[in-house]
Amino acid sequence: MARVVVTRPIIEEGLHPLRERYDLEVLNPVDTWDEDGLIAAAHDADALISMLSDPITARVLAACPKLRVVAQYAVGYDNIDLEAARARGIVVTHTPDVLTDATADFTWALLLTLIRKVREADRYVREGHFKRWETQLLLGHDLRDKTLGIVGLGRIGSAVARRALGFGMRVVYYNRRPANPTVERQSCARYVSFDELLAVSDVVSIHCPLNSESYHLFNQAAFAKMKPTAVLVNTARGPIVDEAALVEALEQEQIAGAALDVFEQEPKVHPGLLENDRVVLAPHLGSATVEARTAMARMCAEAVLAVLEGAEKIPYRLV
Instruction: Say yes or no: 124 and 111 in one domain.
Output: yes
What's the pLDDT score for residue 108?
98
> In the sheet where 231-234 sits, what is the strand order?
189-191, 170-174, 147-151, 203-206, 231-234, 257-260, 279-281
Instruction: Judge whether 319 lies within some domain.
Output: no
Give pLDDT, residue 44. 97
For residue 279, the model assigns a pLDDT of 98
Q: What average pLDDT score do residues 74-94 get?
A: 97
Long-range CB pairs of 214-222, under 8 A, 24+ apart, other chains included:
214/240, 215/239, 215/240, 216/240, 216/241, 216/242, 216/245, 217/151, 217/241, 218/242, 218/245, 218/246, 219/245, 220/245, 220/248, 220/249, 222/194, 222/198
Q: Is 94 a catalytic residue?
A: no
Question: What does the mean pLDDT of the chain come to?
Answer: 97
- pTM of full prediction above 0.75: yes
Question: Is residue 65 located within the same domain as residue 206?
Answer: no
Residue 263 lies in a domain: yes
Query: 147 pLDDT band (50/70/90 cuts)?
Result: very high
116 and 85 in a common domain: no
In the predicted model, what is the mean pLDDT of residues 177-192? 96
**Choosing from 120, 196, 248, 266, which is the catalytic residue?**
266
Structural domains in the chain (count): 2
Q: Which of 94, 155, 207, 237 is catalytic?
A: 237
Q: Are residues 24 and 142 in the same domain?
A: no
Look up the domain containing 19 and give its range. 3-96+290-308
Assigned domain for 169 exists: yes
pLDDT digits (tens, 9 = 90+) for 117-143: 999 999 999 999 999 999 999 999 999
In a domain, 295, yes or no: yes
pLDDT class of 182 with cuts at 50, 70, 90:
very high
Q: Which pLDDT does position 58 carry in this prediction?
A: 98
Alpha-carbon distances, residue 127 vs 54, 121, 132 (angstroms): 40, 10, 14
Asked if 175 and 259 sit in the same domain, the reply is yes
**Structure confidence at residue 160 (pLDDT):** 98
Q: CA–CA separation, 108 vs 316, rounded Å?
A: 27
In angstroms, rounded to a whole number, what is the distance separating the alpha carbons of residues 235 and 252?
A: 24
State pLDDT tens for residues 256-286.
Answer: 999 999 999 999 999 999 999 999 999 999 9
- 76 with 133, same domain: the answer is no
Round the CA-based radius of gyration of the chain to a whole number and report it. 21
Q: Are residues 57 and 203 in the same domain?
A: no
CA 107 to chain centre: 10
Q: What is the pLDDT of residues 220-236, one digit of tens each?
A: 999 999 999 999 999 99
* CATH number of the domain within which 177 lies: 3.40.50.720
> For residue 315, is it within any domain?
no
Confidence of residue 148 (pLDDT cuts 50, 70, 90): very high
Mean pLDDT of the 144-156 span: 98
pLDDT in tens, 39-71: 999 999 999 999 999 999 999 999 999 999 999
> Does one domain contain both 44 and 8?
yes
Assigned domain for 259 exists: yes
- Structural domain includes residue 66: yes
User: Is 120 assigned a catalytic role?
Assistant: no
Q: Say what the pLDDT of residue 140 is.
A: 97
Let me know whether 160 and 182 are in one domain: yes
Catalytic pick from 59, 68, 190, 284?
284
Q: Are residues 266 and 119 in the same domain?
A: yes
pLDDT given at position 233: 99
Tell me if residue 266 is catalytic.
yes
- Looking at the structure, tell me whether residues 166 and 259 fall in a common domain: yes
State the chain's maximal CA–CA distance in angstroms. Answer: 69
**Could you tell me if 262 and 301 lie in one domain?**
no
Domain assignment present for residue 113? The answer is yes
Residue 62 is predicted with a pLDDT of 98
